Amino acid sequence: MYEVPCLLWTNSLYRSAYPELLAAAGRNIHAPVQADRLIWPILSASRITFDHFPETQNVFSAQYVPAEKRVMGGTVYFPSKAKLELRRLRAEAGRP
């Protein structure tokens, strides 16, 4: 299993049209997202939603809730010790 960065590339027109989406994305900038759940932010960024849209699984939503346990292919994922240490240092420094 690998951690892969996610990139959201926007232009000025998109940024001015959807500031709430980008604000929520900014608040969740370091939140983990599993590849099998990327459909929700992709649909949201495309402005496609429907009744009962799972906002809690949409990293571009203020209601996003990261999964407590990440499971991939039946295997529980644990971040490396270096990654956990970096998170601790960021938290101590008051950075996301």
pLDDT, tens digit, 9 for 90 and up, residues 40-72: 999 999 999 899 999 998 988 889 888 776 776
Token pair listed for 47: 């402005």
> Bridge-partner residues for 76, per DSSP?
71
pTM of the model: 0.63
pLDDT, tens digit, 9 for 90 and up, residues 5-43: 778 889 999 999 999 999 998 888 888 777 778 899 999
Q: pLDDT-based confidence at 1, cuts 50/70/90?
A: low
For the chain, which residues make up each domain, given as ranges? 12-92
% of the chain at pLDDT higher than 70: 81
Alpha-carbon distance of 19 to 38, in angstroms, equals 20
